[in-house]
Amino acid sequence: MLPSSPQRTTRPLGSGEELWVRLGEIASNNALVVVELGAELEHSRLREAIQSAADAHPILGARIHKIAQTYHIVFGDKARFGFTVHTKEAARDWQQVVHEELNTALPWDGPHLWRVTVVESLQSSHLILCSNHAIGDGMSIVELLRSIFAIYTGATTPESKLPPPAMESLYKSRHSFVQQSRHTLGHIRNFLRHRKLAVYRLADAPLVDSEGPSSSFETHLLTQEESKSLQSLAKQKAVTLHGLLCAAMVMAIYEDSQTSSRLPIGVSTVVNIRGDLKGDRSRDFAYYVALTDGIADVSADKDFWTLAAHYSTVVHEQRNKESYRFQSRILRLLLAKHKDTKVLLHTLRDRSKSTVMITNLGRIDVPQDWGALQIKQLFTVPSTHALGRPYIVLTASTFAEQLRLTFSYGLPFTQKEQVERIIRGMRAKLERLSH
């Protein structure tokens, strides 16, 4: 627990944190959560609730400094954030504001690393929380929202917390030295094998004059009946919902390619690893995610459920501390080797074996009913254009018993028409499965 006036502490950034800071030198890399509310918000009361909830997390008052070519994070005891309100009179479209928030960078050396925007309309209000990915991911923001709503409605008061350590320092394997060595050799073997594989890429967009790279998104909300049907079907077939979504997306990509031959399609998955780390990190506002990768040969006669089982298994097999540790070591080596961020990004793109990224956040554990405050919907939107190549990121989440699919992609690199075709193809598959 923190004393009433905690001393400032400093540590070097973890590998994931440093990667996001450096990518931020090229383009915005924001994590963003949208909340639709069924009532107007009292602005001053909301701001006080945000300040009170955020002050419990030293990382939300942090600054990032570069000392002797090494990035450090300096934790503060007072949260700093941007706060903007678009009233009904301004008549702003919330989706356009989300687009602006997604593409307006929160630079690591700026006055704050996160911000809050309220968009009011005649029917509802939208609360948009946006943070630099270096300090927090989508699930971090969800945890902060729980505290904000609880304080806003008078349900609770925040509990002070210690500054979170770098993620790597929390890896603690329960395996013996021999078992760890065996796991590490397996990761090295898979790493070298994947290096030789070529995966299918989305088509490059034609070169056009643009104002610079940006992220765009589409969001689709399934009905409660469709959502329950897909979850029940996944359980019946002994696959995860994530595996089902991967198979639907991969088959839509294959059909859009209009080829008759086999295509190797790679899927990267963001995994929330708080529960896998030492101690209880579930309430921490910090960056605690890792990547898993899986490649499958896809053809017109490929069985859908075989694909779903494959991607379900890949995530399960890579979800262990040895895998996380190996990934962080590789990333740390790349960060140390390539001090030029453009060269680093080129290297990351070159070694990536991913066609798309698909993440299922699962059931978002935030109550809908907060007395006079009712939450209609809550979902995340990631930025993608820092990657600088044709790419789709699908983020799935379940709230109020409804599955939401949010697709984001980078412009001008990705063909918008191709993305729309793939989304239509995937939605059609999910509709057939759910009926």
- Asked whether the beta carbons of 97 and 128 are under 8 A apart, the reply is yes
Q: Is the pLDDT of residue 427 over 50?
A: yes
| pLDDT, greater one: 221 or 385 | 221
- Residues 6 or more apart whose CB falls under 8 angstroms from that of 200 comprise 253, 257, 263, 264, 265, 266, 355
Q: For residue 319, what pLDDT is reported?
A: 86
Q: For residue 211, what pLDDT is reported?
A: 66
Q: Is the pLDDT of residue 73 over 70?
A: yes
Q: Between the ranges 162-166, 237-241, 414-418, where is the mean pLDDT highest? A: 237-241
Q: How far is CA 103 from CA 107, 153, 364, 394, in A?
A: 12, 31, 25, 17
Task: Report, as an integer, the average pLDDT of 225-245.
Answer: 96
Q: Is the pLDDT of residue 122 over 90?
A: no
Cα–Cα distance, 163 to 14 (Å, whole number): 13
Q: For residue 3, what pLDDT is reported?
A: 35
Cα–Cα distance, 356 to 379 (Å, whole number): 19
- Asked whether the beta carbons of 293 and 317 are under 8 A apart, the reply is no
The DSSP letter of residue 258 is T
Q: For residue 5, what pLDDT is reported?
A: 40
Q: For residue 154, what pLDDT is reported?
A: 87
| pLDDT, greater one: 187 or 356 | 356
Q: For residue 89, what pLDDT is reported?
A: 87
Q: Is the pLDDT of residue 194 over 70?
A: no
Task: Report, as an integer, the average pLDDT of 71-85.
Answer: 92
Q: For residue 354, what pLDDT is reported?
A: 85
Three-state DSSP state, 85? strand
Beta strands in 277-425 (DSSP E): 289-298, 356-363, 369-370, 373-382, 392-399, 402-411
Q: For residue 282, what pLDDT is reported?
A: 84
Give the chain's mean pLDDT: 87
Q: Between the ranges 8-17, 115-124, 282-291, where is the mean pLDDT highest? A: 115-124
Q: Is the pLDDT of residue 181 over 80?
A: no
Q: For residue 419, what pLDDT is reported?
A: 93
Cα–Cα distance, 434 to 225 (Å, whole number): 8
Q: For residue 172, what pLDDT is reported?
A: 62
Edge to edge, what strands does the sheet with 373-382 contain?
82-86, 114-120, 125-132, 30-37, 373-382, 369-370
Q: For residue 210, what pLDDT is reported?
A: 60
For residue 184, name the pLDDT band (cuts at 50, 70, 90): low
pTM of the model: 0.90
Task: Report, as an integer, the average pLDDT of 128-132.
Answer: 95
> In the chain, pLDDT over 90 holds for what percent of residues?
54
Q: Is the pLDDT of residue 187 over 60?
A: no
- Residues 6 or more apart whose CB falls under 8 angstroms from that of 45 comprise 152
Tens digits of residue pLDDT in 389-421: 888 999 999 999 999 999 999 888 889 999 999
Q: Is the pLDDT of residue 189 over 80?
A: no
Selection from 309, 203, 200, 307 nearest residue 248 by Cα? 307
Task: Report, as an integer, the average pLDDT of 180-187.
Answer: 56
Cα–Cα distance, 60 to 169 (Å, whole number): 20
Q: Is the pLDDT of residue 331 over 70?
A: yes
Cα–Cα distance, 194 to 201 (Å, whole number): 15
Domains of the chain and CATH, by start? 10-152 (3.30.559.10), 175-369+379-434 (3.30.559.30)
Tens digits of residue pLDDT in 260-281: 889 999 999 998 888 888 888 8
